[in-house]
C-alpha cells in the first residue's frame, strides 16, 4: 500500500471537529494494524502511473504491480473557482483535513455577520456534508450568543442527496438558514467579499466556505485512467480501459454514492473480485449499500439508506429516509468507531 500520510483522520468526523463535537485523537488511526496483518506499507506519495509498464511512480522511485487498485479519493479542483486558490484563508472548507482545522479556527473566531457555504455540482464527497456544516455552525454560534446569518448556495436545484431533499428543505427553513438553489459559485471577489455565480448572481459574506468541485488526482488523468473519475465495471470494480487496474470509492465513476460507508463495502467487493481474478475464490460479500446519518444539530441526525444489486443497479423499494432523531446520532458514531476498528485494527 502506497500512502503518503503517517495517519488518517476519519472523514465523517470532519464536520464534528469543526464545532468541537469530536476529539481528533479519537478518530485518528495509523497503519500499524495493517502492517501486523502482513500488508507492506510504503510511505510515499504517487507522482504518476504508467499502465503500459505496470508501474507506479513515486518521488523515491517506482513500484511494479500485477494488479493496481486506485483508492485515492478526490482532490479539490480549486482552480475551477476564480480567485479561490489564492484566497484560501477567506474560505476554508472541511473536505480536506487541513481545511477542516482552518475552518474550526475561523468558526471559533467568528464575531458575527454572514456565513456562506457553497455546494459544488455533484458528484462530490459526502453529499449531505455541506448542509450538516450549515446546521452545526448555526447551532454553535447560537449557543455562544454570536449573531450570524447562515446562507447555503447550492449548485444543484435541490439539496443532496435527492432522497433527502424535502427533509433538508424543511430543516433549513425551520432553522432560518437561507437556501439559494441553482447558485453555482464560479468566482470569489476578495476585495468585496462576494461570491459570484455562473449567472452573475452575487452573495456577500463575512466568512465563506466554498467547497470546490472535485475530481481524480492529476496523475490518474495523465495516465489515461479517467477524467474526472475512473470508469469501472460496477459489478467488479475493474477499470473499463485497463484489465489489471481497479478503482473504488470516491475516485471511481460508479452508480454508488461517494460516501465512507459505501467506500468500505466497495473495498470488500473489489478485494473479492481481485482474489477471484488471481485464482483465489473466497466467500462473496454482500452487494454495496449505503447508510448515512447526517447531522441537523449536535443532538439529532437524519437517516438515508440506498441499496444496489450486484451489477450496481438501484433496487426499487429498498430506499429509506428518516426524520431527525437522537438515535441516528448514536448509530452514526457506533458505525464510525466500528469501521475504523474493522479497517485499521
247: burial class by Cβ within 10 Å (0-12, 13-18, 19+)? buried
Instruction: Evaluate whether the domain defined by 76-214 bears CATH number 1.10.15.40.
Output: no
User: Which among 73, 164, 157 is positioned nearest to 119, based on CA atoms?
Assistant: 157
Domain locations along the chain: 2-75+215-284, 76-214
Biggest alpha carbon distance in the chain?
A: 63
Taken as a whole, the chain contains a residue count of 345
pLDDT category of residue 339 using cuts at 50, 70 and 90: very high
Cell, residue 340? 475504523
76: burial class by Cβ within 10 Å (0-12, 13-18, 19+)? buried
Distance from C-alpha of 81 to C-alpha of 104, rounded to nearest angstrom:
22
Q: What is the pLDDT, as a whole number, of residue 27?
A: 96
On the question of a common fold for 2-75+215-284 and 76-214, the answer reads yes
CA atoms 7, 22, 159, 306: torsion sign: positive
H/E run at residue 101: helix 97-109
Topology of the domain comprising 2-75+215-284: FAD/NAD(P)-binding domain (3.50.50)
| Contact indicator for 227, 137 with CB cutoff of 8 Å | no
36: burial class by Cβ within 10 Å (0-12, 13-18, 19+)? exposed
pLDDT above 90: residue 281: no
Q: What is the pLDDT, as a whole number, of residue 282?
A: 81
**Residue 18 dihedral angles phi and psi, to the nearest 5°:** -55, -40
| 3-class DSSP assignment, residue 28 | strand
| Contact indicator for 176, 185 with CB cutoff of 8 Å | no
Q: What is the pLDDT, as a whole number, of residue 174?
A: 98
pLDDT above 90: residue 202: yes
Q: What is the pLDDT, as a whole number, of residue 57?
A: 98
Q: What is the pLDDT, as a whole number, of residue 283?
A: 85
User: HEC states along 171-201?
Assistant: HHHHCCCEEECCCCEEEEECCCCEEEECCCC
What angle, 0 to 180 degrees and rounded to 10, lies between the N-to-C axes of helices 260-277 and 326-344?
A: 30
Q: What is the pLDDT, as a whole number, of residue 292?
A: 98
User: Which among 81, 89, 87 is positioned nearest to 120, based on CA atoms?
Assistant: 81
pLDDT category of residue 345 using cuts at 50, 70 and 90: confident
| Contact indicator for 293, 328 with CB cutoff of 8 Å | yes
Cell, residue 165? 431533499
Distance from C-alpha of 63 to C-alpha of 67, rounded to nearest angstrom:
11
- pLDDT > 70 in the chain, percent: 100
Amino acid at each position: 500500500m502506497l500512502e503518503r500520510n503517517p495517519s488518517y483522520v476519519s472523514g465523517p468526523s470532519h464536520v464534528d471537529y469543526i464545532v468541537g463535537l469530536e476529539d481528533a485523537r479519537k478518530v485518528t488511526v495509523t497503519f500499524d494494524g495493517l502492517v501486523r496483518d502482513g500488508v507492506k506499507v510504503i510511505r510515499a506519495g504517487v507522482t504518476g502511473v504508467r499502465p503500459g509498464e505496470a508501474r507506479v511512480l513515486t518521488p523515491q522511485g517506482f513500484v511494479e504491480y500485477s494488479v493496481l487498485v486506485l483508492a485515492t479519493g478526490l482532490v479539490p479542483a480549486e482552480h475551477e473557482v476564480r480567485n479561490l486558490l489564492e484566497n484560501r484563508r477567506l474560505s476554508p472548507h472541511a473536505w480536506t483535513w487541513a481545511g477542516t482545522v482552518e475552518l474550526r479556527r475561523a468558526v471559533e473566531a467568528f464575531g458575527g455577520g454572514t456565513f456562506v457555504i457553497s455546494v459544488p455540482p455533484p458528484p462530490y464527497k459526502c453529499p449531505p456534508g455541506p448542509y450538516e456544516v450549515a446546521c452545526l455552525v448555526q447551532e454553535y454560534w447560537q449557543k455562544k450568543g454570536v449573531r450570524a446569518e447562515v446562507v447555503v448556495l447550492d449548485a444543484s436545484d435541490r439539496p443532496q442527496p435527492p432522497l433527502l431533499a424535502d427533509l433538508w428543505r424543511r430543516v433549513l427553513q425551520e432553522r432560518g438558514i437561507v437556501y439559494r438553489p441553482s447558485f453555482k459559485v464560479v468566482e470569489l471577489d476578495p476585495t468585496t467579499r462576494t461570491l459570484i455565480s455562473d449567472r452573475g448572481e452575487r452573495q456577500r459574506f463575512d466568512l465563506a466556505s466554498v467547497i470546490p468541485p472535485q475530481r481524480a488526482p492529476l496523475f490518474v488523468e495523465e495516465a489515461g485512467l479517467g477524467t474526472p473519475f475512473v470508469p469501472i465495471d460496477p459489478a467488479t470494480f475493474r477499470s473499463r480501459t485497463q484489465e489489471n487496474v481497479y478503482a473504488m470509492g470516491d475516485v471511481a465513476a460508479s452508480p454508488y454514492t461517494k460516501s465512507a460507508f459505501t467506500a468500505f463495502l466497495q473495498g470488500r467487493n473489489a478485494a473479492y473480485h481481485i482474489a477471484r481474478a488471481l485464482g483465489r475464490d473466497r466467500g462473496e460479500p454482500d452487494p454495496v449499500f449505503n447508510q448515512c446519518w447526517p447531522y441537523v444539530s449536535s443532538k439529532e441526525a437524519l437517516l438515508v439508506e440506498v441499496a444496489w444489486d450486484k451489477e450496481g443497479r438501484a433496487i426499487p423499494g429498498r430506499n429509506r429516509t428518516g426524520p431527525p432523531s437522537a438515535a441516528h446520532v448514536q448509530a452514526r458514531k457506533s458505525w464510525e468507531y466500528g469501521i475504523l476498528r474493522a479497517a485499521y485494527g
